[in-house]
Chain A
Amino acid sequence: MIITLLILMTLLIAIYLIAWLCSPSLRRHLERPNHQFMDNCEKFEQARQKLSG
């Protein structure tokens, strides 16, 4: 049963990956992180530069 589940999951992931590779719209949809990681880190960096300056 586990093996069947793994195979099904593989297929599902493969379909997702193929769609991700082939469909720009789906790709845009999937690549829509709302995290502010880079911006937040930039703020820290700027703050550090002000301090060191």
Chain B
Amino acid sequence: MTNSSERPGASQLPSVEYGLIKAHAIAALVTVLISATFGIIVSLKLHTPDFASASPFLTWGRLRYNHTQGIFFGWLGNAFLMFLYYAVPMLAMRPVLSRKLGWILFALWNFAVVLPGWLLVSAGFSQPLEWGEFPLIVDAFVVLAFIGLVAQFTIPLLKSKLSSLYVSGWYILGGLIFTLFAYPIGNVMPELVPGAQGAAYSGLWIHDAIGLYVTPLALAIAFFVVPLVTKKPIYSHFLSMLGFWLLFLVYPLNGTHHYVFSAIPMDAQKGSIIASVYLGMDVILVVANILLSMRGCSKLLKEDLSLRFVWMGTILYLIVSLQGSMQALMPFNRLVHFSDWVIGHAHLAMLGFATFTAVGGMAYVWQRIPGARFSRRALDHAYWLLLIGMIAMVSLLTAAGLSEARVWETALPWLDSVRAAKDFWMYRTFSAILIIGGFISLYTSFFTGTKNEITVSPSHSVAEDVDNADASKVPKRLSMAYAAAGIGGIGFFLLSFTVLAVIPGLALQKEIKRTKPATMLSATEQEQRGRIVYAREGCAYCHTQQIRTVPSDVSRFGAPTRAWENRYDYPHLWGTRRIGPDLSRETSIRSDDWQLTHLYNPRSIVPDSVMPSFPWLFDGSPAKPKAEAVDLLAYIKSLGKARQLAGNDPKQFTLAPNCECPDEVKKIETTPVPLDASGATRTVGVPPFEVTLPTDAAKLADLQRKGAIVFARNCQGCHGEMADGQGPAAEGLLPKPAGLIEANYTTKHLVSVLMNGVPGTSMPAWRDLPRSDIEALVAHLKILPERAVYITSAEEMASKEVQAGKKIYEQKCVSCHGIEGDGKGPAAAGLVRPAANFKEIQPEPDDLLNVLENGVPGTSMPPWKDQLTEQERDYLSRYVQAFFVEDKKK
């Protein structure tokens, strides 16, 4: 790279660093293939969750982190840098600051950020913050790289006269400088300020990542490529600058729209919603300007693929921005937030707008690299594969999101939303194959086809060295115009920082002081260790920890999350998506055994679950958790504990006294609601309804068939396919699941157990099942294989065996099971698991004898083999069976 330059006879033309352009292009193409592969595995795991599930390195959460960070830094970062090395010398008429610095930055970007970031996340070192998943050590290198990039590209631009700086130069300046500010704030502040306050900063970065980094650099490409290909100036210089300044004013103000209906002060939420609408208007202005610049160029769109990519990117920019404005609005946000709709939106932004524009810029530059090969045909294939794949993926995710949102608005079980989305996820994987094909074609287009005829590498010359030496001097003073523009830009950034983070943070501090309980224990060391496991495995990317002030959240999960509940969370784990349910009130919903079995193999206990399994946290069995699993369990059990201990005092509503909240929010905040509304929480009480099974045989048979399906979907993980209590989850549960074929049950008992669960066991309540499902389940359980019974007549009841059993019962069993056998003995109140009510349960003889001999492990029922002879146990079992008062069958 030491030969002549691209400016024969024109010493004022600066050099272009083609070596760096090639290197960044190759890095972009390699990293996008790797990142897209991460993405396709993530997609595959959503509908085939057991695929590659044994290795922690390939678990869903870690791959999801690496997918988005790889696209952000590896793909788009390198693609943008490739473009900048070509465009900045033309925009500034000066070379970039230093070639040496360029190679250092290349190494830093790819071998100190992307590669170690991936490896560290795979090894379990990460940060659970959206678009900030690489760990803090990598963040340090990102900031270092951005300092270098600012120097490399902005110094040449700043040396130009303000009036001679084209709009692409403005976008490059803005994008690089403000990302340098925004990145550390978004990545470090949530580690320094807790919970809701940290979420406010986090929201800033979530949007700044797109608004201050991706969008400006993509628009720089669009404004660069369009006039050069069409050979016409842009439609309006004035509109281009107006669009630029509006973008930098309103984009950073969007951040809090990721936390609408949350505990963040309503004023900040409303401000971000207004800014989101404003942004939509700005984007219309920007896009109109770009598209008007292309008027009359339809033929060129067919011929020039770089222009076609940019054109499509611009259209997608309009669509995704208007979609973003719409979904920030409260009535829409209430429905689709947390659903796959938002994932579709993110793909439309990153895979649609950003990728298409970036490819347009790359293709334009690549065709001008001396000696580079280029296949137009392969790029054309890439265009169509990427376009069809992207449209299919976004459409499927949008449809999945709407399906999820529809279920969330009802009282149907959470799992129904997963079932509703599963097919869409499967087809989404197929669309991802098209996208990977598109990227492979893109790669092919850059390394096959005809060779660029420029034979002399125009990289460096003596004259350029003079230019470089000149450029290496940092301007001693900026012109007044630059200073004014700089102050304006920094002012906009500080405005967003102040309005969306500092002021809400101060308001939250007051709010927390006003509403927090007198004492709130901080997390134990074990809980903190568990929190680290929770964060590293990406649990927050499927389970939120914020119940919003919307009816569907409150009726499904319980009272809205207060700001003080997360005041020890560094960083916050509020989450921005729900595939699984919210965990804010998880503390007492499930048993320890259930949680551990679920972590070990979720599908063993919830057959339709798509949660990843975490076998590396166990020693080969759910009954043998390693220390990390126990820590994680402690953390999960701590979620909502402080709120539970504080009680559900209606005075603790979070509305600031002068809050101008929407009526629906005020209504929820001022109406007492249950702290925990989970349909699975075990309780004691009379079930809310009775079930009467149809007498008509055909109707009953229909109901029983439906019940068998409901049983298979919800119950057989524990109770087994044959309802014998030997399901795959039984291994880790104590007490063991009931063998439903080993006893007769009254209808009332079955309804009670289904609606209340069984305290002291892993049997949850199933209150979120529709009543029709409960009725069907009861009908199904009634026809399980007929059980053997002893007592068939009054004569047998009076037999000496039964009477002998009665005597033993009165001596040994009454204290718990009661004189009437109804489980209401004097000692019953102290039992965690209620004593069996033999009026409603009639165990079969073998089961009874087994229980009498060995007791029921995990409960207060002791073994009686040392205290009662075999004959006495036989008598006792006969008597116990006699209590049963309903559904006696021969």
A48 to B18, CA, bound (A): 13
Beyond A31-B238, A40-B93, A51-B454, is A6–B13 a contact (Cβ under 8 Å)? no
The bracket for how many chain A residues form the interface is: 20 to 34
A36 to B161, CA, bound (A): 11
CB distance from B493 to the nearest CB of A (A): 15
A40 to B368, CA, bound (A): 15
**Which residues on the A side are within 8 Å of B6 (C-beta)?**
44, 47-48, 51
Residue in A closest to B6 when the chains form the complex, CB atoms: A47
Residue in A closest to B452 when the chains form the complex, CB atoms: A52
CB distance from A11 to the nearest CB of B (A): 13
A3 to B458, CA, bound (A): 53
B685 contacts chain A at the CB level, 8 A cutoff: no
A2 to B504, CA, bound (A): 13
Determine whether the beta carbon of B458 is less than 8 Å from that of A35. no
Determine whether the beta carbon of A35 is less than 8 Å from that of B163. yes
Determine whether the beta carbon of A10 is less than 8 Å from that of B7. no
B453 contacts chain A at the CB level, 8 A cutoff: yes
**Which residues on the B side are within 8 Å of A27 (C-beta)?**
238
A50 to B6, CA, bound (A): 9
Q: CB-defined interface of A28-42 with B at 8 Å, one 1/0 digit per residue?
A: 001111111110110
Determine whether the beta carbon of B238 is less than 8 Å from that of A52. no
Determine whether the beta carbon of B13 is less than 8 Å from that of A2. no
Determine whether the beta carbon of B227 is less than 8 Å from that of A38. yes
Determine whether the beta carbon of B90 is less than 8 Å from that of A20. no
**Which residues on the B side are within 8 Å of A52 (C-beta)?**
452-455
Determine whether the beta carbon of A20 is less than 8 Å from that of B454. no
Main secondary structure of the interface of A (DSSP, over half): helix
Q: CB-defined interface of B235-260 with A at 8 Å, one 1/0 digit per residue?
A: 01111001000100000000000000
Residue in B closest to A5 when the chains form the complex, CB atoms: B495
A31 to B235, CA, bound (A): 10
Main secondary structure of the interface of B (DSSP, over half): loop
Determine whether the beta carbon of B278 is less than 8 Å from that of A10. yes
B90, B164, B233, B239: the one within 8 Å of A44 (CB): B90
Determine whether the beta carbon of B274 is less than 8 Å from that of A13. no
A2, A30, A38, A51: the one within 8 Å of B458 (CB): A51
Determine whether the beta carbon of A47 is less than 8 Å from that of B7. yes
Determine whether the beta carbon of B7 is less than 8 Å from that of A34. no
Determine whether the beta carbon of B8 is less than 8 Å from that of A37. no
Beyond A3-B270, A41-B90, is A47–B10 a contact (Cβ under 8 Å)? yes
Determine whether the beta carbon of A43 is less than 8 Å from that of B271. no
Determine whether the beta carbon of A3 is less than 8 Å from that of B271. yes
Determine whether the beta carbon of A51 is less than 8 Å from that of B370. yes
Determine whether the beta carbon of A30 is less than 8 Å from that of B13. no
B616 contacts chain A at the CB level, 8 A cutoff: no
**Which residues on the B side are within 8 Å of A30 (C-beta)?**
237-238
A3, A13, A36: the one within 8 Å of B242 (CB): A13
Q: 23 A–B contact pairs at CB < 8 A?
A: A3-B270, A17-B242, A30-B237, A30-B238, A31-B236, A31-B237, A33-B163, A35-B163, A35-B166, A37-B90, A37-B166, A37-B233, A38-B231, A40-B91, A43-B7, A43-B13, A47-B458, A48-B368, A48-B454, A50-B9, A51-B8, A51-B370, A52-B454
**B contacts, CB < 8 Å to A:** 6-10, 13, 16, 90-91, 93, 161, 163-166, 168, 227-228, 231, 233, 236-239, 242, 246, 270-271, 274-275, 278, 368, 370, 452-456, 458, 499
Given A2-B499, A3-B270, A48-B6, 14 other A-B contacts at CB below 8 A?
A6-B274, A6-B278, A20-B236, A30-B238, A31-B236, A31-B237, A31-B238, A35-B166, A40-B91, A43-B13, A44-B6, A48-B368, A48-B458, A52-B452
Which 3 A-B residue pairs are closest in the complex by CB-CB distance? A37-B166, A30-B238, A34-B163
